[in-house]
Structure 1
Amino acid sequence: MSNQVVASQSTTAPARLSTLDRWLPLWIGLAMVGGILLGRFIPGLSDLLVELEVGGISVPIGIGLLVMMYPVLAKVRYDRMTAVTGDKRLLVSSLALNWIVGPALMFALAWIFLADLPEYRTGLIIVGLARCIAMVVIWNDLACGDREAAAVLVAVNAAFQVVAFAVLGYFYLTVLPGWLGLDTQGLEVSMGQIALNVLVFLGIPLAAGFASRYVGERTKGRDWYEDKFIPRIGPWALYGLLFTIVLLFALQGEAVTSNPWDVARIALPLLVYFALMWGIGIVTGRQLRLGYARSTTLAFTAAGNNFELAIAVAIGTFGATSGQALAGVVGPLIEVPVLVGLVYVSLWLARRWWHINPTTGLPLSNRAEVKS
């Protein structure tokens, strides 16, 4: 009987996507272009966004990120997270990719592509040290990754970030270049600033998501919570994403359009970095037999970066108009379209490598579905 049920489910077409989901690349593209145009042609907008900062965090961008993250973290089934914390292969591989492979790869790419541009080179290295705790939950959700695993990995990397960021910054900007006979660069990093960043962009939406599920299930039951409440708040994740993208691109719209060659020079190593980190993550997950959902989560948590922290550190140490700050801002400008593209690559690989429907997690029933 159970086999018949699985076979029946696997041949059922997934639910029709909403207009927002179906045309997401178009909306993101329009948000990017709109943000650049706003920043380029509305005098003082980028200055206003910089002025609206509290503790080094831009309030409008912070609001956009919180709106973006809350619905995704409200979907997490927190009672299942113990199964993730017991998966040592996933946790160890995530820590290794995020804190050994990622920073080392960005250091190498920064020196290979930007050896003659020390400010941009330093900015890229800072981006490589800031591991993602925000947008990764969106990319993971869009790619049908494991929500519980994403929540755990983001939390683990956030805690590690508070301790490791300053130490690794000193190592990659001062110690290692000195050993190799290269130029060195100092970095002033406040542990309090990093902790505040983690608290705002992970702590608040995580607590809100947990509280929503706890109260909703206790008062209305799980069926109501997942069938009624989640569909109502779900679209707000993408609204928050688009709002944040507009602000990010507006913040440096003038700098991007005024220095297109510099932006192109910074963009090239970033393109290589995001593609390589995601590819290493997805292959590692497959080799460790983690399954599609957790392999995808591992790949996106390895590829994403905490752009808010990188920009805040660059501005705090080198100034808002510095090359380091520009490199930090170019990070999300490249990350957003690249990782959106990799979402679609993930969904394609679910059928090609794992032979499952990524939406349901069930095996595909025929070869035609594998090729689709």
Structure 2
Amino acid sequence: MEKLGFIDRFLTLWILLCMVAGVLIGYYVPDVNKKLGSSRFADVNIPMAVGLIWMMYPILCKVRYEILHKILNQKAIWKYIAFSLIINWIIAPLVMVALGWMTLPDMVEYRSGLVLVGTARCIAMVLVWNRLAGGDEEFCAIIVAINSILQIALYGPMSYFFVVILSKGTKMGISIWPVVQSVLIFLGIPLVAAVITRFTLHRIAPNFFNKIFLPFIAPTSLLALLFVIIVMFASQGREIIVNIRSVLRVIVPLILYFVIMFFSVLAFCYYKCIPYKITSVQSFTAASNNFELAIAVAASVYGESSKESMAATIGPLVEVPVLLIFVKVILMVKKKWYNAKVESCGCVDD
């Protein structure tokens, strides 16, 4: 705790305060949703878009791109990548479809929005959760990049299959452009900026980059996260309170989804003696979702005021506090059991 900064140390408190502040702003400030949405970028209001991009930039600056080729030359890494792809692109959407049928059999529109969230694999906040948990940032960047490429090709047909065919949800016609746009903007912009920063500033002044620049910008990632939470909750504050019964029903399958995906992967990795840093990446990518993509697609296909969009919006509202709790849980597991387990298997966690 002594090594953590002021923001990191009390992050749970700040997130709770930002959530409450956002809901109150959304409920009591007239037309705040219209004002936030008056100017949009990639189907997301500009304040949230700026926050999402900056939230990823400091984390991506820390990734050692110069050694990624060495990491990819390791045979074990490809096994971990294959495992992640199976979990993210096959098991996770199926789990969300099953939970949607179990908990929302009479709410077709909300079930459709829920499945849209389950099919969109995370390319943003997983970097934050993994960083807080002390996971492997290089491996996390690789998984995020692979998921981003796959989203461009697979999100359209897979979401149609899971929403319309398996979930018997509302009809949809997804254009590929919202998917490409989301990946290019919310991953492409911060990734390109981070790569340029690292390969220029790190080469010119490595001591300045490592000792001054990175420590200075690192806390701004969490500040951007807090800003995104305020904007997100403010945008939906009134709808949350007015439609509280429907919101509570959608929250149930979401919580079950996060718990099932996170702890099943964590237990499997623990049983197989997979190093903690890799386990952190696998657990958080399995439980995280690309909410900005799900919201953008739901809004463009069904309309911003639709029940599908409402369900997609509830996703990150639940994900943020739940995955923050998971950060604390996995750190506790690491401290009490994980290191001893890995050592007993003869596996070194670098």
TM-score tier, shorter chain, comes to: over 0.9
Deviation, 1:31, is 0.5
CA distance 1:102–1:84, shift in 2 (3 Å): farther
2:200: which partner in 1?
215
Q: Which amino acid counterpart does residue 19 of structure 2 have in structure 1?
A: M
Aligned to 2:348: none
Question: Which structure has the larger Rg?
Answer: 1
1:186 aligns with 2:171: yes
- AA of the residue aligned to 2:95: L
1:127 to 117, 125, 131: 117
Root mean square deviation of aligned Cα = 1.8
Question: 4, 12, 17: which is aligned to 2:4?
Answer: 17
Say if 2:109 and 2:169, in contact at 8 Å, map to a contact too.
no
Q: The residue matched to 2:49 in structure 1 has which SS?
A: helix
* The one of 212, 230, 233 aligned to 1:246: 230
- Equivalent in the alignment of 1:6: none
Offset of 1:251 from its aligned partner?
A: 0.7
**Closer, same or farther: CA 32–114 of 1 in aligned 2, 3 Å:** same
Q: Secondary structure at the match of 1:209?
A: helix
Q: Is the 8 A contact 2:111 2:169 kept in 1?
A: no
Write the distance in 1 (CA, Å) between the matches of 2:86 and 2:318.
Answer: 24
Question: 2:273 touches 2:342 (CA, 8 Å); kept in 1?
Answer: no
1:159 to 132, 149, 154: 149
Distance 2:100 2:60 in 1: 34
Task: Give the 3-state SS of the residue equivalent to 2:338 in structure 1.
Answer: coil
Matched, 1:92 2:76: no
Which whole-Å deviations, capped at 9, do the CAs of 1:23-70 have from their partners, x for residues lacking one?
100000000000101111111111122222134132111100111111
2:130 maps to which residue?
140
**2-side partners of 1:64 and 1:174: how far apart?**
33
Question: Aligned partners of 1:319, 1:265: CA distance in 2, in Å?
Answer: 21
Preserved contact between residue 250 and residue 311 of structure 2 (Cα < 8 Å): yes
The reply to whether residue 114 of structure 1 matches residue 93 of structure 2 is: no
For 1:4, the equivalent position in structure 2 comes to none
Give the C-alpha shift of residue 364 in structure 1.
12
Inter-partner Cα distance in structure 2 for 1:130 and 1:187: 16
User: Deviations 1:251-278 (Å, cap 9, x if unpaired)?
Assistant: 1000001111111100000000011111
Deviation at 1:83, TM superposition (A): 4.1
Write the distance in 2 (CA, Å) between the matches of 1:242 and 1:141: 16
Structure 1 residue 355: Cα displacement: 2.3
Match status 1:351 vs 2:338: no
Q: Hey, what does 1:27 align to over in structure 2?
A: 14
Instruction: Provide the C-alpha distance between the structure 1 equivalents of 2:282 and 2:218, rounded to a whole number of angstroms.
Output: 23
Bigger shift: 82-91 or 195-204? 82-91
Residue 105 of structure 1 corresponds to: 95
Q: Which SS does the other structure have where 2:60 is aligned?
A: helix
Offset of residue 118 of structure 1: 0.7
**Letter matched to residue 268 of structure 1:** V
Q: Which residue of 2 aligns with 1:180?
A: none
Distance in 2, matches of 1:150 and 1:244, equals: 21
Gaps of 5+ in 1: 1-13, 178-182, 357-362, 366-372
Structure 2 residue identity aligned to 1:165:
Y
Normalization by structure 1: what TM-score?
Answer: 0.88
2:292 equivalent among 278, 287, 308: 308
Q: TM-score, normalised by structure 2?
A: 0.93
Q: In the alignment, which residue of structure 2 is the partner of 1:332?
A: 316
Change (3 A) 1:353 1:316: same
Runs of 4 or more consecutive aligned structure 1 residues displaced over 3 Å after TM superposition: none
Residues 228 and 184 of structure 1: CA distance in aligned 2, closer, same or farther (over 3 Å) = closer
- Once residues 186 and 285 of structure 1 are traced to their aligned partners in structure 2, the CA distance between those partners, rounded to angstroms, is 38
SS at match of 2:172: coil
Using the alignment, how far apart are the partners of 2:191 and 2:82 within structure 1? 22
Rounded to whole Å, the distance in 1 between the matches of 2:80 and 2:62 is 21
- What one-letter code is carried by the residue in structure 2 that aligns with 1:20? I
CA distance in 2 between partners of 1:292 and 1:364 (Å):
8
Q: Distance in 2 between matches of 1:127 and 1:364?
A: 34
Conservation of the 8 A alpha-carbon contact between 1:285 and 1:296 = no
Q: State the partner residue of 1:318.
A: 302
Within-5 A mapping of 1:293-304: 293-304=277-288
Deviation at 1:21, TM superposition (A): 1.0
- Write the distance in 1 (CA, Å) between the matches of 2:98 and 2:128: 28
Instruction: Please state if 1:196 is matched with 2:186.
Output: no
Q: Name the amino acid aligned to 2:162.
A: Y
Structure 2 CA distance for partners of 1:160 and 1:287, relative to 1, 3 Å = farther
User: Alpha-carbon deviations, 1:337-366, whole Å to 9, x = none?
Assistant: 00000000111111123227xxxxxx999x
Quote the offset at 1:122 in angstroms: 0.6
